[in-house]
Amino acid sequence: MNDENKNYVDIWGDNVKIKDLGISMLLCIAFALGGFILAPGEAPQPLITGLVGGVIGFIISSIIIKPKRNITKMEGDE
């Protein structure tokens, strides 16, 4: 493991990289708020587009950000 990978912090029970967290929060907030503000119709239309926006932000973040976990598989024989 190189040094660059040693700067994660524990937030809410799991390890995160601050820069990635910033990217993900920015994406989700931008899409959710953007969806809400730019929605054309009457209430509850903005809320629906906002929620969809949030989920889109979540999906993009999940694709571009790698989880900070090392998973070792063990067989059930120990």
Partner 1 sequence: MDMVIILQMILASIGGAVLYTLIGIAPGTDETAVLAPVTIALVLVGVSPYVILAFFISAIVAKKLTDSIPVAIAGIPGGVMAAPMVEHAMVLKSHGLPDVSIKKMSSGSVIGTIVSIPVSFLIANLILPYADTISEYAGLIFFFGAVFLALMTTNKILSLAIIVPFALLIQGLRHLYWGLEIVPPDVTVFVSFFLGITIGPIAFTLFELLNKEYRKNMPGLGNKEIKLKSSEKAKGIPNPFQILTKKESASSAFGSFIGSITFFLSPVGMTVFLGEFLTRHVKDPVQRASRAISTMDGLTNASYISGTLIPLIAIGLPLSPMAIGPAAGLFNAPPVYTPEHNIHHLLSMGEIMTATIIGAVIALVITFNITIKYSSQICAFVFKYIPHEALIGLFAGLVVMLAYMDAGWINIFGTILVALVSGLLHKNGVNYGVLFMILYAAPWLLGVLS
- Binding residues for partner 1, per CB under 8 A? 1, 5-18, 20-21, 23-29, 31-33, 35-37, 44, 46-48, 50-51, 53-55, 57-58, 61-62, 65-76, 78
CB of 77 to partner 1, least distance (A): 8
- Smaller CB separation from partner 1, 13 or 40: 13
Residue in 21, 20, 47 with CA at minimum distance from that of residue 36: 47
Q: Give the shortest CB-40-to-partner 1 separation in angstroms.
A: 16
Both structure tokens of 60: 């993009």
List all residues 6 or more positions away from 20 whose beta carbon is below 8 Å from its beta carbon: 65
To partner 1, the closest distance from the beta carbon of 3 in angstroms equals 9
C-alpha–C-alpha distance, residues 34 and 31, integer Å = 5
